[in-house]
Amino acid sequence: MSKDIIEVNKLTKKYDGLVAVDSISFKVKEGEIFSLVGPNGAGKTTTVEILECLKMPTSGNAKVLGHDVKKDDDKIKKKIGVMPQDFNTFGRLSAEENIKLMGDLYGSGNLKEIMRKVGVDKFKNKKFDELSGGMKTKVGIGMTLISNADLLFLDEPTTGLDPHARRETWNLIKDLKKMGKTVFLTTHYMEEVEYLSDRAGILIDGNIEVIDTIENLIEHYGGGIKVNVLEDGEAVNIINDRADEVLKGEEGTWTGIFDSKKEARKALIKLFQLDSKVEVQEAGMDEVFIRLTGGKIDEGGELV
């Protein structure tokens, strides 16, 4: 049983009366990738920056690695690795020099090994200002990793990256888990949450709407598995008999919605035996978010 590495209890942050984080509570387990997901302004960065000791909570408390975020800044900062939102560093220093500086500040890390792991060694002498977005993110993760910390905070690490660079970053984050790191990730990309996370919390207007494993979230809030039958006849009867909800579509198609994977599987076996033409749509985090909030998050992170 993994121990809780972060414990957040009724954490609240207000700015001039505006509530950014509203009495949220959750725990993060050792060795997992935990994602806090939500649109811009939901309070993700405020939450993560309180945990990083960059902001002081208005009320409530949080413990990171057993230390109080209000009192134990020094202890916590030595034990965590951080990649802030819109990460930046000294633009006229090279990639290597920036990672080395972080190593010096933490008094730790094997520079060459870290650069090799995150793929910075190929452009280590290039100045940070001259790097592409994807390269900068690799440097940022390198600067986070060289802390030798077991708990890493990555605040929207893939925002603004092209699909290729985003995919590379995801692989890097997956590797972090393999290294035994605990990763606290914030993002507004549902695909990223689904691909990377063990558990996720959905944050809207400073409140955590739900928090669970990705599987449970999809199962409970994803709206089930959709099986589309493209013809009338016996296949429709199978759907009608076994699906939790049946919808008639245009041009004679029918959709059966199954809450249970087991029931969906049984129905599909019958349909395949009939050699029916079917389409299967599995629910994902997008559906979970839509069902919970009634909206979607666009590429820019805005709730629409």
Partner 1 sequence: MKRSFSLFISLTKNWLRSKSGVFFSILFPIMLLLIFSTIFGGPAAAEYTLHVEDEDVLFEMELPDYETSLTEGDVDEQLRDRFLDEDYDISENAKMERDDKDWYISDGEERVYHLKVIEGEDLIEVYGLSKVFMEALDATENLNIEEVTNLTEYRKENGEFEEHRGLRIEEGFHENALNKSMELRMAVMQDTMVRIYGRFDMDDDDEANFTEGWDTLNRTSENISAQYGNITLYTSPGDQAAPIVRGTVLGVMDTFNSQMVGLEDSTVQLSEEEVGKDRGLEAVDYYLPGFIAAFIMSNGIIGVTSNISEFKRNGTLKRLTATPLKKEDWILANVAQQTVLAFLLTGVMILVAVLVFGAQAYPGPYSLALIFLGSVAFCSVGIVMGGLIKDVEAASGAGNAVAFPMMFLSGAFIQIETFPSYLQTVARLLPLYYFHQGLREIMILDNPSEAVMAFLVIGAFALFFIILAIKTTRWKDI
8 Å CB contact between 24 and 208 = yes
- Strand 59-64 versus strand 199-204 pairing type: unpaired
Question: Looking only at residues 125 through 144 of this chain, which bind partner 1 when binding is defined by CB under 8 A?
Answer: 127, 143
Question: Looking only at residues 3 through 62 of this chain, which bind partner 1 when binding is defined by CB under 8 A?
Answer: 52-56
Q: Least separation, in Å, of the C-beta of 151 and partner 1? A: 13
Q: Least separation, in Å, of the C-beta of 159 and partner 1? A: 13
Q: Least separation, in Å, of the C-beta of 105 and partner 1? A: 4
The three-state secondary structure class of 285 is helix
Among 92, 164, 178, 248, binds partner 1 (CB under 8 A): 92
CB closer to partner 1 out of 129 and 298? 129
**Interatomic CA distance for residues 19 and 183, integer angstroms:** 26
Among 14, 106, 116, 219, binds partner 1 (CB under 8 A): 106
Q: Least separation, in Å, of the C-beta of 164 and partner 1? A: 24
Among 39, 43, 60, 84, binds partner 1 (CB under 8 A): 84
Q: Which stretch binds partner 1 (CB under 8 A): 60-68, 82-90, 117-125, 255-263?
A: 82-90
List the beta bridge partners of residue 200: 35, 212
The candidate with the shortest Cα–Cα distance to 280, out of 202, 204, 206, 227, is: 227
Neighbours of 143 (CB within 10 A): 27
Taking the CA atoms of the chain, what radius of gyration do you get in angstroms?
A: 23
The candidate with the shortest Cα–Cα distance to 169, out of 183, 150, 149, 148, is: 183
Q: Does 88 bind partner 1 (CB under 8 A)?
A: yes
CB closer to partner 1 out of 41 and 223? 41
Among 2, 25, 59, 105, binds partner 1 (CB under 8 A): 105
With a CB cutoff of 8 Å and minimum separation 6, the contacts of 238 are 267, 270, 271, 274
Q: What end-to-end distance do the CA atoms of the chain give, in Å?
A: 39
Q: Does 123 bind partner 1 (CB under 8 A)?
A: no
**Interatomic CA distance for residues 105 and 289, integer angstroms:** 40
Q: Does 77 bind partner 1 (CB under 8 A)?
A: yes
Q: Does 87 bind partner 1 (CB under 8 A)?
A: yes
Summarize as ranges the residues that interact with partner 1 (CB under 8 A).
52-56, 73-74, 77-78, 82, 84-93, 97-98, 101-102, 104-107, 127, 143, 147
